């Protein structure tokens, strides 16, 4: 049986919800105040879950120090104190909804992990809204 | 792959645990102080999870504004500041345990959602006790 | 200089807001859905703060085990799983608002403490509403 | 003796730390990544505390429904989903640090309250950083 | 369809990460400061999830009072205020990582539960690190 | 008027409650399971509050980056993943109760701050027990 280890991290970013194929009026209608062209922002709280077998020698599924460092390098350095729409390559043509941010985080971390590990991304956009995406 | 979006909500209600087919003595034995005929109450914290494909145009599985409004109309207006046993039709013959409340919430929300969406209800009766019920 | 030690506890209770000197209509106007005659309820989260000198032999302002037990006997046994209006003597003629509950808790605990200790009561009626009352 | 009632609220906003009297280089040196000209953002969590005597007829220091509405009208409508630097008058010439935002919130709410009430503003910029400002 | 009921509990313990088959130097290299021979410690927060059918007479999957008592007897009395490496039989030859502690808790509780119930253990070693282990 | 800025930090440590002037029996009687000679441990959550005037040029009472770094150097490096009784000089003859740890933290930080700043230490030993110590 497999165990999931989870590590919490966080980043603060500005964004707006915006579909470049639509008129500004349609963006405002669909996305409401989230379409504000001057941006708003969030404290994103991220939980990265990695599921696998316990290594018998270490008692670890994955060394949390390694996972913590991986999240810092791949996610926090890329997203923290950034404007997601303006400064993060993945969102130049992709609307930075919580759903899409979680999928992007998944694809940034997945290739860095052992292929036998099962990855789940939980992303809180606010304490009241969160999304989950992953291999299961 | 599918993404789950989750929205938190809350309602405050009175209830007692009670099986009308049993004597008062048996209710007191089985349910203890939760059977108090004068009622007690809780701040219920509710998480509604909806899983589905991301719509390519919006980046949403489901518009959170719509989900928030749906929870307000279907659940908060029905349960908030109510006595569940006395004032909520579903519990007139059903014991309002956390388990049964979660199942009732599920059945109130399920028909209002797109048929392709997968629904999960998480209900905290207290910060220390919670239940989960849904399609998966 | 003095140190404050704080202990968290909790109780679940039903109540309604009600002034017996007023008509039902006026109660409904002033207290809204909180005046529901069938009651509603809360998970009250309580923080009891006790400020004083550190005893040089123990390193304690007050033994937390003693404070925990005192809160159990004086507050939890009196209020937990009760209807405050119907079953708690202090609220038979006093409206059980969060403010009044905090003052009642203060007066139940104060005489049980060493006279040199400074007492502060913090009471969360919900995670979004709380009150503070005490000697400072 | 007086009781403090506290109400939690929240708003999501973009901002940057910036002193218009300084060069961009000095802004970058002093404020680091917080000076990012593309902005970043936060979920601000706000606690408004109001201290006063309990009204004997209502058992309230201040009706929480009134306080909740006041925060919505004065603070949430002004700040939520806004760019504080670009769209909020008070911050056009004032650096929107957590400290300054708390002071601005204080001055927006203070004139709307009964003169006998004591006001305290607690503002969480992130779950790890918060500020407190008020009459005591 | 089945419902999961969850109960939170907690215990405070000392531990160190250590593989007795390795040299001290290798332990220090792999486990870093967690290998400190003088120990360090944690407030472990435990969530025990039990999934099954709702009993039609009680409305319970499992009586929470029974589950709470079971956790107290089997887990809290065994682990609370203990040194896991020195005083808990299961960890005399097993490295007390969060992963291994979760597996041990699972095996202590599983035989005490009705065979039809599905068990999941969630264990927070810190507010930022947690593991999940169970039947699903 | 002055503003308080607060920064959260954390460290994980082992300790036991113990008065070296007492017999083991008396230590066991007074401190109960907290006197366990094999130690137990906690995730200490620390809030450092610094109160002062807002600097008109920066909008800061104190740069949070500086405060965060100061806590890392003075407190986290000294206490994290340590056995407080065995490895921290201040507790070799001082019982490491939460009260005493807060006072020690205060005295480590106070001389590093501008003399006009008012310092308050809040220390959570568990999510249910915390202490406050400082200049006000």
Residue B1 pLDDT > 90: no
Residues whose CB is less than 8 angstroms from the CB of residue C103 and which lie 6 or more positions away in sequence, other chains included = C121, C133, D3, D54
> Comparing C-alpha atoms, which of D14, D8, D72 is closest to residue D43?
D14
Taking alpha carbons only, the member of B70, B14, B66, B17 closest to residue B44 is B14
State the nearest Cα–Cα gap between F12 and chain C, in angstroms.
20
**Which of D32, D99, D129 to probe by mutation at the F interface, max F CB count within 10 Å?**
D99
**D135: nearest CA in chain F?**
F1
Residue E100 pLDDT more than 90? yes
Averaged pLDDT for residues E90-111:
98
Please name the residue ranges forming H helices in E1-136: 24-31, 64-71, 77-79, 84-87, 98-109
Q: Which residues contact C16 (CB under 8 A, 6 or more apart)?
A: C31, C34, C35, C36, C37, C38, C39, C40, C85, C96
Contact of F131 with C5, CB cutoff 8 Å: yes
CB contact E29 to F (< 8 Å)? no
Verdict on whether the full-model pTM lies above 0.95: yes
- Given the residues D34, D45, D74, D99, the one annotated as active site: D34
Provide the pLDDT for residue B130: 98
Tell me phi and psi for residue B37, to 5 degrees: -65, -15
CA of E135: which chain A residue's CA is closest? A1
Q: Are D81 and A126 in contact (CB < 8 Å)?
A: no
**Distances in whole angstroms, Cα of residue A117 to Cα of each of A52, A112, E135:** 5, 10, 18
The beta-carbon neighbor of C41 closest among B39, B45, B87 is B39
What sign results for the dihedral spanned by CA atoms F48, F49, F53, F57?
Answer: positive
Chain B residues with CB under 8 Å of C89 CB are none
Encoded tokens for E12: 């405070």
Q: Is C42 a catalytic residue?
A: no
Residue F76 DSSP class: I
The pLDDT tens digits for C95-121 are 999 999 999 999 999 999 999 999 999
Residue of C nearest to D136 (CA): C136
Residue C43 contacts B where some CB pair is shorter than 8 Å: yes
Mutate to test the interface with C, among D1, D3, D76 (most CBs of C within 10 A): D3
Reading the block at residue B116, the tokens are 């392709």
B81 is catalytic: yes
Can chain C be said to touch chain D, i.e. do they have 3 or more Cβ pairs within 8 angstroms? yes
**Dihedral sign computed on CA atoms, order A18, A19, A23, A27:** negative
Residue F129 forms contact with E (CB below 8 Å): no
Q: Which residue has the tokens 């590990």?
A: A117
Alpha-carbon gap, residue D46 to C72, rounded angstroms:
32
Mean pLDDT over B5-21 rounds to 98
Q: In the predicted model, what is the mean pLDDT of residues E116-120?
A: 98
In chain C, % of residues over pLDDT 70: 100
Domain CATH code at residue A88: 3.30.479.10
The confidence score (pLDDT) of residue F100 equals 98
Nearest to C61 among F95, F99, F130 (CB): F99
**Shortest CA distance from C2: residue in chain F:** F133
CB proximity list for E5: less than 8 A, separation 6 or greater: B98, B99, B129, B130, B131, E49, E50, E51, E60, E61, E62, E64, E67
- Put simply, the answer to whether D40 touches A15 (Cβ < 8 Å) is no
> If pLDDT is split at 50, 70 and 90, which confidence band does B111 have?
very high
**Mean pLDDT on B12-40:** 97
User: Are E2 and E52 a contacting pair, CB within 8 Å?
Assistant: yes
Q: How confident is the model at residue C51 (pLDDT cuts 50, 70, 90)?
A: very high
Per DSSP, what are the bridge partners of residue A44?
A11
pLDDT of the residue at D73: 98
Q: How many CA atoms lie within 13 A of B107 on its CB side?
A: 7
Cβ atoms B30, B22 nearer than 8 A: yes
Residue among C12, C33, C82 minimizing CB distance to B42: C12
Beta bridge partners of A52: A3
The whole-angstrom distance between F4's CA and the closest CA on chain D is 5
- Over residues E28-44, the mean pLDDT reads 97
SS3 E26: helix
| Residues of F noted as catalytic | 34, 81, 125
pLDDT confidence bin for E112, thresholds 50/70/90: very high
Which residue of chain F has the CA closest to E33? Answer: F81
Environment class of residue E7 by beta-carbon count within 10 Å: exposed (0-12), middle (13-18) or buried (19+)? buried
Contacts of D73 (CB under 8 A, 6+ apart): none
Phi and psi torsions of C58, nearest 5°: -100, -25
Residues forming a β-bridge with D11: D44
Which residues in D lie closer than 8 A to residue C32 (C-beta atoms)? 65
Q: Spell out the per-residue pLDDT of chain A, length 136, in tens.
A: 899 999 999 999 999 999 999 999 999 999 999 999 999 999 999 999 999 999 999 999 999 999 999 999 999 999 999 999 999 999 999 999 999 999 999 999 999 999 999 999 999 999 999 999 999 8
> At residue E1, does pLDDT exceed 90?
no
Q: Is the pLDDT of residue C1 over 90?
A: no
Residue D44: how many CB atoms within 10 A of its CB? 27
One-character DSSP codes across A61-103: SS-HHHHHHHHIIIIIHHHTTEEHHHH-GGGSSS---HHHHHH
Distances (CA, A) of D34 to A13, C120, D103, E13: 10, 38, 20, 39
Tell me if B49 sits within 8 A of B134, measured CB to CB.
yes
The string of pLDDT tens digits covering residues C72-88 is: 999 999 999 999 999 99
Beta-carbon contacts of D25 under 8 Å, excluding residues fewer than 6 positions away, are: none
Distance from CA of F111 to the nearest CA of E (A): 28
Cβ atoms of A74 and A108 closer than 8 Å: yes
CA distance A103 to C30: 49
Q: Which of A47, A41, A43, A17 is nearest to A29 (CA)?
A: A17
For residue B42, indicate whether it is catalytic. no
- pLDDT beyond 90 at E34: yes
**Element housing D77 (H / E):** helix D77-79
In which domain, by residue range, is C111 found?
Answer: 2-134
Residue of E nearest to A9 (CA): E128
Token reading at E29:
């290299």
Tally the domains of chain C: 1
Q: What is the phi/psi pair of residue C89, to 5°?
A: -50, -45
Indicate yes or no: CB of D59 within 8 angstroms of CB of C32.
no
Catalytic residue among A40, A81, A86, A107: A81
Q: Which residues of A109-119 are buried (b: 16+ CB within 10 A; e: fewer)?
A: beeebeeebeb
pLDDT at C21: 96
Predicted pLDDT of residue C94? 97
Torsion of CA D52, D55, D60, D66, to 10 degrees: -80
DSSP assignments along A17-70, one per residue: ---TTS-HHHHHHHHGGGG-TT-EEEEEEEEEEEEEPPPTTT--SS-HHHHHHH
Q: Which residues are CB-neighbours of C2 under 8 A, at least 6 positions away?
A: C51, C52, C53, C61, C118, F133
Element (H, E) at D131: strand D129-134
Point out which residues pair with C123 in neighbouring strands: C46, C131
Per-residue confidence in pLDDT tens, chain D, 136 aa:
899 999 999 999 999 999 999 999 999 999 999 999 999 999 999 999 999 999 999 999 999 999 999 999 999 999 999 999 999 999 999 999 999 999 999 999 999 999 999 999 999 999 999 999 999 8
User: How many angstroms separate the CA atoms of C19 and D57, rounded?
Assistant: 7
**Selected residue of A8, A35, A39, A101 to mutate for chain D interface (largest D Cβ count, 10 A):** A39
Nearest alpha carbon to residue D81 among B5, A98, A42: A42
Residues of F in contact with D22 (CB under 8 A): 57
Looking at the partner chain, which of E8, E54, E65 has a beta carbon nearest the beta carbon of B99? E54
Which is the catalytic residue, given D55, D81, D86, D107?
A: D81
Question: Do D64 and D7 touch, CB atoms closer than 8 A?
Answer: yes
């Amino acid at each position: 049986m497999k165990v999931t280890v989870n590590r919490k991290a966080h980043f603060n970013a500005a964004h707006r919800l915006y579909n470049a194929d639509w008129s500004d009026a349609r963006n405002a209608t669909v996305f409401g105040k989230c379409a504000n062209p001057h941006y708003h922002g969030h404290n994103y709280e991220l939980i990265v879950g990695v599921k696998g077998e316990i290594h018998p020698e270490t008692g670890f599924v994955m060394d949390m120090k390694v996972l913590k460092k991986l999240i810092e390098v791949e996610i926090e350095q890329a997203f923290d104190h950034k404007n997601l729409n303006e400064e993060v390559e993945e969102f130049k043509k992709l609307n930075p909804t919580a759903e899409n941010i979680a999928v992007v985080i998944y694809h940034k971390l997945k290739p860095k992990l052992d292929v036998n590990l099962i990855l789940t991304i939980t992303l809180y956009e606010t304490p009241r809204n969160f999304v989950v995406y992953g291999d299961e």
